Chains A and B, each alone.
Chain A
């Protein structure tokens, strides 16, 4: 017998989320109110969340330079200690102090904003800690299968330089497509535009 059994089923093939993904994933945002109280993932923080408050924002831009106004982004990250949120049982009714997961629609100008905390470092496959990062997933009309990428932080230059994933990207100019620019303020803001195509095309992953 093998420790690595061959899959017996095929993964269901992906299809585009279509132009109306907001109906299904952020129904209140597109005016379908009264079905669920609040769109899932709008809020990642609670007063009990430990960690440095930050804002992550940017725009999604297509290959013609136009804003992608009909996308949904999801963000998944570790907490300030570098741990991922403990799974909650199906019957548990207590919210975790930090969900680690956020979901935001893009606005008419293609912009998105997440209010979260700066993640801690997570051990990489090589046993060394990866640089602080968040995972992003983007779906929209015209995207046949969700795009996976990461956002890193410009004020973590040393950690970034040793990061297992960033170092897989041979072209340093392309590596820059994953590094969000820090803007100082009462709450630090990290800005990263996601380019689906073109000279500044974001590095997307086959995970």
Chain B
């Protein structure tokens, strides 16, 4: 029976591969200069405080929470832009689905402008697009939402930098130490390869992991393209069994 991983196993989390993640200090992305800790992170094996985490099953999600085309509409008018379905599975590093977890997402509108008072881009604000939504993954770890494709936009990092089209994601998982914020990019976008924030990631395979794939099978005819974006959270070792020594 050794080697069997029980659903909901609460063993220790796998160590985070910090070479796969971006380093804290990445000079090409200037905002890290004063915000990257200089000391080494202190190694701390996860305790109960980090292997437990909040759950959100008791929060009633609104019917339109995962429909960015309509959830901020002021007068029934739908958001402007190329209509899309974004969906995917939240998994852990053992390829087990992560059900019942909160996924939040936010993005610029089709013109590349955020609904934020500090936003400085000239592109038009869509009065019917807020740019925020959320889902709870189903029993198989899947989430999905409807939105419009965000535009690329300029930012003042080095005077003339542009961000590729992207959607921000926040995912909880089942342990506080699984907490993750990342971004989804779009397959085939040439803007990906000149972006200083994308370039904080060293490994091309890791960047590919953040690139959603066009999925022709799940398009809605005459309505919306579909993109699949799977997300992997930290995995856990299996729980030790009382008879663990047998067979070892």
- State the A residues within 8 Å of B (CB): 1-5, 7-25, 27, 30-32, 34-36, 40, 62-64, 66, 68, 70, 74, 76-78, 84-85, 87-96, 99-101, 122-125, 130, 133, 135, 137, 139-148, 150, 164-165, 168-169, 174, 196-197, 201-207
Q: Which of B9-46 contact A (CB under 8 A)?
A: 13-14, 16-18, 20-24, 26, 29, 31-39, 41-46
**B-side interface size class:** 35 or more
What CA separation (Å) do A94 and B60 show in the bound complex? Answer: 10
Q: Which of A9, A100, A196, A201 has the most CB of B within 10 A?
A: A9
Q: Which residues of A have CB within 8 Å of B119?
A: 20
Does B99 sit within 8 A of A, measured CB to CB? yes
Question: In whole angstroms, what is the CA distance A107 to B107 when docked?
Answer: 22
Q: A12-B180, A62-B34 are in contact. List 18 more A-B contacts (CB 8 A).
A: A10-B205, A11-B233, A20-B116, A20-B118, A23-B132, A25-B106, A88-B57, A95-B58, A130-B47, A135-B176, A143-B36, A144-B26, A150-B49, A165-B47, A197-B34, A197-B36, A206-B16, A207-B46
- A48 CB → nearest B CB, Å: 14
Q: How far is the CA of A54 from the CA of B153 in the complex (A)?
A: 43
Q: Does B72 contact A (CB under 8 A)?
A: yes
Q: Does B216 contact A (CB under 8 A)?
A: no
| Residue contact B209 to A13, C-beta cutoff 8 Å | yes
User: In the bound complex, how far is the Cα of B10 from the Cα of A12, in angstroms?
Assistant: 21
Determine whether the beta carbon of A3 is less than 8 Å from that of B240: yes
Rounded to whole angstroms, the CA-CA distance of A25 and B134 in the bound complex is 10
Is the beta-carbon distance between A206 and B44 smaller than 8 angstroms?
Answer: yes
Interface residues of B in 199-248 (CB under 8 A from A): 200-201, 205-207, 209-210, 231-235, 237-238, 240, 244, 247-248
Residues of A within 8 A of B58 (CB): 88, 92-96
Q: Which residues of chain A have C-beta atoms less than 8 A from B134's C-beta?
A: 36
Instruction: Give chain A nearest CB distance to B90 CB in angstroms.
Output: 9
Q: How far apart are the CA atoms of A59 and B171 in the complex, in Å?
A: 25
- B5: chain A residues at CB < 8 Å are 5
- Flag if B105 contacts A144 (CB, 8 Å): no
B127 within 8 A of partner (CB): no
Using known A-B contacts A15-B22, A125-B45, determine if residue A92 contacts B179 with beta carbons closer than 8 Å: no
Question: Assuming the A-B contacts A11-B17, A12-B182, A139-B181, are A31 and B132 also in contact, with contact meaning beta carbons closer than 8 angstroms in the complex?
Answer: no
Q: Can you name the residue of chain A whose Cβ is closest to the Cβ of B55?
A: A87
Chain B nearest CB from A160 CB (Å) reads 15
Contact yes or no, A13 B26, CB < 8 A? no
